[in-house]
């Protein structure tokens, strides 16, 4: 039986691309951010539908599956309300909080054979997650969640993700991990081949291999930083006032350099700023470039994110790339689904 996928909250297509590379047909991706259209359609043979998922009817989504195809619905409802940074804040008014309920309601109405949901691990502590699982079980899905540590799947980044599979056919297991710590993909393997850049410079070969400029103070700070070290090792005159306070002494996960022979820290939407995390290049005096972040997210090097000659802003590209599902995690999800379908065919 042929099967195909609709990808809700598809972004620039990290998940779609991983599925596609493994031969899984993705018919369409839906996202409300217009900036996702170009990269999504340019790099994937799938339609981009610029809509708010909350405003789509189940019939709209059903119509995206060819008649007779087994339906697979995948989705990565935005995780901002669940991220560590947002813990403890009041999200009652955050409309994104409800998107997992919307996803659940669509599943109930569409009854796809397989569902894949990806999010931050802390989601599982929230009632919205428990309600989501109960909804799936009520609808006779076998539900299996997995806490995925990306380096164990060859992704050069210490990202942790929750992947939840639900299937009407039986238990759907994630592919066993295949990397021990001594086999983890490293920053060097991901970006070590790119030409050197200075802060503020753009490569002449690839307009996305560009690094943000640094103030004189931040340039001095990164010069004083060693891979894997922290600002605690700097001379006093370089240390930010807030870090001089006793209460902030433990905040060492900013102003750091990556280490060549380890996976990078988790990419965020602000990877382009040296002060925003451990996003300093291992040896060049700058934060990583946009292309380097995309490679660490395991996008192929020729993945196109913007139309030729269009404006490139760090904030926009940071949002698009930092929010993406790593392509190689998409491949793992695809392989898991294919194996499951082979078992139950």
- Residue numbers at the binding site for ligand SAM (CB under 6 A): 9-15, 30-33, 36, 52-54, 76, 78-79, 96, 99, 323-325
What secondary structure letter does DSSP report for 227? B
Strands of 3-8's sheet, edge to edge? 47-50, 26-31, 3-8, 70-75, 114-119, 160-167, 142-149
Q: Which is nearer to ligand SAM, 15 or 294 (CB)?
A: 15
Minimum distance from residue 259 beta carbon to ligand SAM (Å)? 26
Question: In angstroms, what is the minimal distance from the CB of 204 to ligand SAM?
Answer: 28
The three-state secondary structure class of 7 is strand
CB 71 within 8 A of CB 109: no
**Residue number, 9 or 141, with CB nearest to ligand SAM:** 9
Cα separation of 225 and 256, whole Å?
7
Shorter beta-carbon distance to ligand SAM: residue 30 or 222? 30
CA distance 19 to 78: 19
The question of whether 179 is a catalytic residue gets the answer: no
3-state DSSP assignment of residue 276 = helix
Nearer to ligand SAM by Cβ, of 144 and 316: the residue is 316
The one-character DSSP state at 121 is G
Q: Is 10 left (phi over 0), alpha (psi -120 to 50) or beta?
A: alpha
* CA–CA separation, 15 and 7 (whole Å): 8
**How far is the C-alpha of 73 from the C-alpha of 263, rounded, in Å?**
30
Which residue, 294 or 341, has its beta carbon nearer to ligand SAM? 294
**Shortest spacing between CB 36 and ligand SAM, in angstroms:** 6
CA distance 216 to 231: 16
Q: Are 185 and 177 in contact (CB under 8 A)?
A: no
| Calpha distance 71→215 (Å, rounded) | 52
Q: Which is nearer to ligand SAM, 279 or 303 (CB)?
A: 303
**Closest distance between ligand SAM and the C-beta of residue 54, in Å?**
5
Nearer to ligand SAM, 53 or 135 (CB): 53
DSSP-assigned letter for residue 171:
-
C-alpha dihedral sign at 180, 181, 183, 187: positive
- Pair 258, 187: CB distance under 8 Å: yes
Selected catalytic residue, list 79, 150, 179, 248: 79
CB atoms closer than 10 angstroms to residue 157: 23
Nearest approach in angstroms of CB 29 to ligand SAM is: 8
Name the minimum Å distance from CB 249 to ligand SAM: 32
Residues identified as active-site = 79
């Amino acid at each position: 039986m042929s099967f195909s996928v609709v990808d809700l909250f598809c972004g620039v297509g990290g998940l779609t691309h991983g599925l596609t590379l493994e031969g899984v047909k993705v018919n369409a991706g839906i996202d409300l951010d217009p900036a996702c259209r170009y990269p999504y359609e340019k790099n994937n043979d799938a339609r981009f539908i610029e809509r708010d998922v909350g405003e789509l009817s189940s019939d709209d989504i059903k119509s995206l599956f060819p008649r007779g195809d087994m339906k697979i619905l995948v989705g990565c409802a935005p995780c901002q309300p669940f991220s560590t940074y947002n813990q403890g804040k009041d999200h009652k008014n955050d409309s994104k909080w409800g998107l997992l309920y919307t996803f659940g309601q669509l599943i109930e109405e569409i009854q796809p054979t397989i569902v894949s949901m990806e999010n931050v691990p802390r989601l599982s502590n929230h009632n919205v997650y428990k309600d989501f699982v109960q909804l799936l079980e009520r609808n006779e899905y076998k539900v299996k969640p997995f806490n995925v540590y990306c380096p164990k799947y060859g992704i050069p980044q210490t990202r942790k993700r929750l992947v939840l599979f639900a299937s009407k056919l039986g238990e759907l297991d994630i592919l066993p991990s295949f990397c021990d710590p001594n086999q983890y993909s490293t920053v060097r393997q991901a970006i070590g081949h790119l030409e050197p850049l200075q802060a503020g410079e753009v490569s002449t070969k690839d307009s996305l291999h560009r690094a943000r400029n640094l103030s004189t103070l931040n340039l001095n700070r990164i010069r004083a930083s060693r891979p894997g070290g922290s600002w605690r090792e700097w001379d006093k005159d370089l240390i930010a006032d807030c870090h001089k306070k006793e209460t902030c002494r433990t905040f060492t996960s900013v102003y750091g350099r990556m280490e060549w022979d380890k996976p990078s820290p988790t990419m965020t939407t602000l990877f382009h700023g040296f002060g925003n995390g451990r996003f300093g290049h291992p040896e060049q005096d700058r934060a990583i470039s946009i292309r380097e972040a995309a490679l660490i997210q395991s996008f192929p090097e020729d993945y196109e994110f913007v139309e030729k000659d269009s404006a490139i802003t760090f904030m926009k590209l940071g949002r698009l790339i930092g929010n993406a599902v790593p392509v190689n995690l998409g491949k793992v999800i695809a392989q898991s689904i294919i194996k499951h379908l082979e078992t139950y065919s």
